[in-house]
Structure 1
Amino acid sequence: MSTEDLPLRGRRIALPESRELDLFADMLTKRGSDVLRCPLVSIHDAPDSAPVLAWMQELIAQPFDQLIFLTGEGLRRMVALAERQGGSLRDDFVTALAPIPKLTRGPKPGAALRKIGLKADRVAVSPTTEGVIETLKAENLVGQRIGVQLYGTDPNLKLVVFLQQAGALVSTVSPYIYADDVEDARVDQLIDALLAAEVDAVAFTSATQVRRLFQIARRREQGDAQLLAALRRLKVAAVGPVVRDELLAYGVQVDLMPESSFFMKPLVRELVKVLS
């Protein structure tokens, strides 16, 4: 095949992706890239489903004035939980969701809503907590009951405090948790590969991956400094602004990111553009 058919031939890209690792890796290998896989985290249902079910029942019995969905994963987990309960809970939940004004942090919650026949009423001006706040700050929220589906177990105090200070009554739900997906030794192997310049790029698709990588690096002598130096020698890709901001917070320069559509396919296109 020609270079045009395999634009990433000769390149090696590290992938910390977990949930859709095979899909992401396949898109890159089809373009000629060698892939170093190291899934750093996995996602699981909340260990205690009772608070999640209680939040869903609250929404059904007394619908919120507004809903904020921070992730598509959270909505999918709630729908799946309702289905496992049997009876009419799933249909009751979706029916109750329909008329409530829904604000999504980015495109993924919107995609999850479409899968159950609904749609977002608004999308935040940018797919970050700050973007959600910017979208809402001109509104009169006094006395409004606002349901917030959180990102993992992060309480997102910045958003919750903003809403409370604006006079809203906030009810949060955490439908899933993040768990370590590989042993520390595997993460150490990834760090060794980065230090040895064995890859041309690393592509991050969640902020949790970044935190996990640095968590393990800090256990090593001069871990942070060595990891930062290694990352400066290769191309660092972020799937979107949330991941970019997490990398920047650790002092990592982000070399490429999709301009507007923050999914894996646009990320692959950016990798091809920069590395081919």
Structure 2
Amino acid sequence: MKGLLNKRIGIASDRQSGTIASLVLKHGGTPEIFSIQGTRQRNETACIESITTLIRKPFDWVILTTGIGAKALEKTAAEINQTENFLRSLRERKLAIRGSKTLNWLRDHDLVPERVSSDGTMAQLFSIFKADAALPAENRVYLQVYDEDEAELKQTLETLGCTVYLSKPYHYESPKKQVLKALTGRIISRTLDAVVFTSKTQVRNLFNQGDRKEELVQAFNDHVLAVAVGKVTASEISDQGVSQLIHPDPPKMGAMIVRLDQYYEALPQ
């Protein structure tokens, strides 16, 4: 298929941008990389505190929201010679997760979750908890997040009657201003045909420009196609006011570019 022939595709991701660019080229498109993810930083002090708390204090549930977060905690546990205690603490608690990367990390350590979000979203995971009353009042919950989502997730759990400890193993720094400005300009000028997003962070970094948001939304809705790697990222794009967007099922990079190719192939010539 060559549905991307003569199409200019912006790529907002960072570490996966080279792979995505190769896939775009394979389908006849022209990739342009604008990495607006921002550099990920491990919060070492927070990780040490989180691991110590997990080991020493009682929790009914441990909720892991990202594979990156689980790996960050594991790395710090190894550095402070607490790997065995860290993994034993996880085995002794009921585990709930979202995301395939988190599930893969659990499998690597022979850990079995009690609850798994079927579509990779926290909303689905919380709906499971509500449906089967798995989180009765006064449950103590260890919630691993990264800084963007902490308030909303914590509030949701507290509404269910839980006491919540927040573990924040990492955060993202702001993207380079010149890169963000360049992508913004290319979208508003309609000189890109589509933009590929692989995380909510990228979406938020782009749209959290108060003076440009309206122009960006308009450009996406009348010309530039927003493309998300999966449902979580797509939901964030939709929440920003963008109605013209696509995402693949399953949420994989290769499937995403195939879906994009198919989208353009299906358009009338």
Q: Which sections of structure 1, spanning at least 5 residues, go unmatched?
A: none
Give the count of matched residue pairs: 262
CA distance in 2, matches of 1:268, 1:120: 31
2:239 corresponding residue in structure 1? 249
- 8 Å CA contact retained: 1:19, 1:43: no
Deviation by residue 1:173-197 (Cα, 9 ceiling, x = unmatched): 0000111232x22222112222332
1:102 corresponding residue in structure 2? 95
2:256 to 247, 250, 267: 267
2:46 corresponding residue in structure 1? 51
- Answering whether residue 30 of structure 2 is matched by residue 37 of structure 1, we say no
Q: Which sections of structure 2, spanning at least 5 residues, go unmatched?
A: none
- Answering whether residue 229 of structure 2 is matched by residue 239 of structure 1, we say yes
- 8 Å CA contact retained: 2:41, 2:173: no
Where does structure 1 differ by over 4 angstroms across 4 or more consecutive aligned residues?
Answer: none
- 8 Å CA contact retained: 2:150, 2:166: no
Distance 1:116 1:269, change over 3 A: farther
CA distance in 2, matches of 1:157, 1:215: 18
1:17 corresponding residue in structure 2? 13
Q: CA deviation at 1:202?
A: 0.8
1:224 corresponding residue in structure 2? 213
Q: CA deviation at 1:37?
A: 0.3
Q: CA deviation at 1:155?
A: 5.1
- Answering whether residue 163 of structure 2 is matched by residue 169 of structure 1, we say yes
TM-score by length of 1: 0.85
1:212 corresponding residue in structure 2? 205
CA RMSD of aligned residues (A): 2.2
CA distance in 1, matches of 2:140, 2:173: 31
2:174 to 160, 176, 180: 180
Percent same amino acid among aligned pairs?
24
Deviation by residue 1:133-161 (Cα, 9 ceiling, x = unmatched): 211113152232211101x2135333323
2:122 corresponding residue in structure 1? 129
